[in-house]
Amino acid sequence: MNDRMRPRPTSDSYAETTHMVLPNDANTMGNLFGGQLLKWLDMSCAISAHRHCKRVVVTAAVNNVSFDRPIKLGDFVTIKAHVSRVFHTSMEVWADVWVEDQMTGDKIKCNSAIYTFVALDQAGHAIAVPPIEPITDEEKGRYEGALRRRQLRLILAGKMKASEATELKALFS
C-alpha cells in the first residue's frame, strides 16, 4: 500500500473556522440567514475533506442540516468539521456549529450538518481516497452510523434499492 492510501486518523481532517455574524449576514429578525450558515458549513467541510485526501474536492450532497437554535447578529460562530467516513471516492464530513456567549465565553452547540464530498483528480474525475481511522468514541460512533446514512441517502435519491442496503436489511426482515 502506498503512503497516499494509508488510513489516516480522523484528527488529520479537523477544520475549525470562526465567523462573526454581521448585519449583512442576518435577516430582519436579527438571526443569521440559513443560507449564510450553509455557505460557512460548506467551506469548513471542504477544508476538512481536502485535509484528509490532499485533493480537490467538490460537494456531492448536503445530507443533513439541523437548525436547532437561532444564531443572532453579533454572535461568534465556530464550525468544527471532520471526515467521519470514507467510501472509496466520497467522504462524509460531519460539522458541529457552536455559538460563543460574548459575556461569559461559554460555547453552546446550536446546529450540526453532514455533507458528502468527492475527491477529484487533475482531469476532474473521481479518485480513490485513503480510509479514515476513527480514534475517539465520538469519531467511532459517527463512523459506524455513516454507512446507514449513506445507504438511506442513496435510497432516497433512487440510486439504491432498500433491499440492497446491507444494514437496513436486518431492520426490515
Q: Is 121 part of any domain?
A: yes
Q: Which domain holds residue 69?
A: 3-134
The grid cell for 15 is 477544520
What is the DSSP secondary-structure string of 43-78? HHHHHHHHHHH-SEEEEEEEEEEEE-S--BTT-EEE
- The pLDDT of 38-66, averaged and rounded, is 95
Residue 38 lies in a domain: yes
CATH number where 24 lies: 3.10.129.10
pLDDT single digits (tens) 123-148: 999 999 999 999 999 989 888 888 78
Between CA 131 and CA 161, with CA 134 as vertex, the angle to 5 degrees is 60
pLDDT at 144: 85
pTM: 0.86
Give the C-alpha separation, 154 to 164, whole Å: 10
**Position 152 in a domain:** no
Q: Are 55 and 45 in contact, with CB atoms under 8 Å apart?
A: no
Say if 66 falls within a structural domain.
yes
Q: How many domains does the chain have?
A: 1
Which tens digits make up the pLDDT trace of 20-31?
A: 999 999 999 999
